Chains A and B, each alone.
Chain A
């Protein structure tokens, strides 16, 4: 657990970067600090490992005042990941990852095995061990940055915009894998970003800061999107927060309508039989593949004729996913599948919206 108690940083030039921050980052969960540029996110983070010394208040880790601990000792127990990874250009990947274990005096083979294990853990091939950082892409370097921070298995991790320097597709991958890793490791994580979407996606708890390092609101992502405390937070939470908020609301209980589906290779006559403008195509295990327009089918159904625009939702997924399935489907009928990905039926956006408007059930604000 990390606890900021009135933590303050006034720089020598008089800039108040952080003004009396009170915040609790619970053990084993991800707390995201989010806010506009210059609002003191990095400063707050760096006060935890004392790369920046607070000028007021204190910061406790598991009820120990960080000010009373030896700085180097403190830092070796805290993983730190930054934008652009900050890997040592002159050390190989395995040596980069081994940095803290070596400082801690682990023996050679334990250190090396740990580094090799982490390389695979963060989704990189073992053959990267002997490479230098410049031989890796930005996204790969960032993975090594995460591996290096995890090397000595620190209970606490500080992450400063770790994924913001990579392209959106890679960022999404890194975020997914980060959540997967965290579900296995259960670290206490303080995560800084200026991207509210990233904040609500990753955070168990999101703290919005305003300039001057003052806490505007701290809440779980669903609450933040549904109930911002003031205009600043509302503005920051972004425009389509109503829609995005559905991502944190479980899908309403709906009974999918049964959908006539055809398999690949079905003849044009057969496809036209239902009389619908769009017909769903499934594989032999009834997993949805895409839609076809009977009017345009002249040969037996083949994969290259499929319209694949529609997303697929599950009944136990989020409201956003099921609404999106309906909205993205060319037929207007959103495809719903079971846990194995097999077709259950379809729902329309009207049905989803109607179900969403009915009074929410007791656990409607819970996590997806």
Chain B
């Protein structure tokens, strides 16, 4: 316990590192998954290859991906970019299907009337389809957020500092305190991400919080 109090600075630093290494890929992943999911919906033949293909990315072991990244990207082994790119790949793997299914859940009659009023495909996507897909996408984001917070810790093995570093530290020194501190910080971080996503989704979907037909 005293170890934790003595190392609050380190824990804080690791937590911040962990937070951005998990959060930035979440945003980048969403940005990439949106056009992919849209294309999977738009062109019928693409749905299966795109959704199955991106889904497969999730099966790549994270340690292997972290180690391969410098080779593929030509970066230094300690460069956090490796982690960001790898985590973005995992996020895309989880979110592409979510975006495709979220867009697919928009009623045909809504799409037809939007088209009939002269909304072009791009305007329709941003002003009608994506807003209506928010609840589904948010649900997928929550899963991806928790997954990211958990997987990022593996990056400790390639020396990129974040909460995972506390696990390796505790493991090498056969010392429980850093491990417990890291675990608690991970859980708190995951809950925090979840909360942020839930709140944002609520703000973006005011129509869902009104009563039914009188």
Binding site for B on A (CB under 8 A): 49, 51, 71-76, 78, 80, 82-92, 99-100, 103, 131-132, 134-137, 145, 148, 158
Q: Is the CB of B113 within 8 A of A86?
A: yes
User: Which of chain A's residues have a CB closer than 8 A to the CB of B205?
Assistant: 90
Residue of B nearest to A75 (CB): B118
Find B112's partner among A78, A82, A103, A134 (CB 8 Å cutoff). A82
Q: Is the CB of B109 within 8 A of A76?
A: no
How many of chain B's residues touch chain A, expressed as a range? Answer: 20 to 34
Q: Is the CB of A131 within 8 A of B210?
A: yes
For the complex of A and B, list the 7 residue pairs with the smallest distance between their C-beta atoms, beginning with the closest.
A86-B113, A80-B116, A86-B109, A75-B118, A76-B118, A72-B118, A132-B207
**Min CB gap B116→A, angstroms:** 4
Binding site for A on B (CB under 8 A): 107, 109-110, 112-120, 128, 131-132, 205, 207, 210-214
Residue of B nearest to A158 (CB): B116
User: Which of chain A's residues have a CB closer than 8 A to the CB of B214?
Assistant: 135
Q: Is the CB of B115 within 8 A of A75?
A: yes
User: Which of chain A's residues have a CB closer than 8 A to the CB of B132?
Assistant: 89-90
C-alpha spacing A112/B34, complex, angstroms: 33
Q: Is the CB of B120 within 8 A of A88?
A: no
Residue of B nearest to A133 (CB): B207
User: Which of chain B's residues have a CB closer than 8 A to the CB of A90?
Assistant: 128, 131-132, 205, 207
C-alpha spacing A85/B114, complex, angstroms: 11
Q: Would you mind naming 11 contact pairs between A and B with Cβ atoms under 8 Å apart?
A: A71-B118, A72-B119, A72-B120, A73-B118, A82-B113, A83-B109, A89-B110, A90-B205, A103-B118, A134-B210, A135-B212
C-alpha spacing A83/B113, complex, angstroms: 10
User: Which of chain B's residues have a CB closer than 8 A to the CB of A86?
Assistant: 107, 109-110, 112-114
Residue of A nearest to B207 (CB): A132
C-alpha spacing A49/B213, complex, angstroms: 32
Residue of A nearest to B106 (CB): A89
C-alpha spacing A75/B118, complex, angstroms: 5
Task: Tell whether A136 pairs with B213 under 8 Å between CB atoms, given A76-B117, A100-B117.
Answer: yes
User: Which of chain B's residues have a CB closer than 8 A to the CB of A74?
Assistant: 118
Residue of B nearest to A72 (CB): B118
Q: Is the CB of A135 within 8 A of B113?
A: no
Q: Is the CB of B207 within 8 A of A134?
A: yes
Residue of B nearest to A73 (CB): B118
C-alpha spacing A89/B208, complex, angstroms: 9
Instruction: Given contacts A90-B128, A103-B117, list 18 more A-B pairs with CB under 8 A.
Output: A49-B116, A71-B118, A72-B118, A72-B120, A75-B118, A80-B117, A84-B109, A87-B110, A88-B113, A89-B132, A90-B205, A103-B118, A103-B119, A132-B207, A135-B210, A135-B211, A135-B214, A148-B113
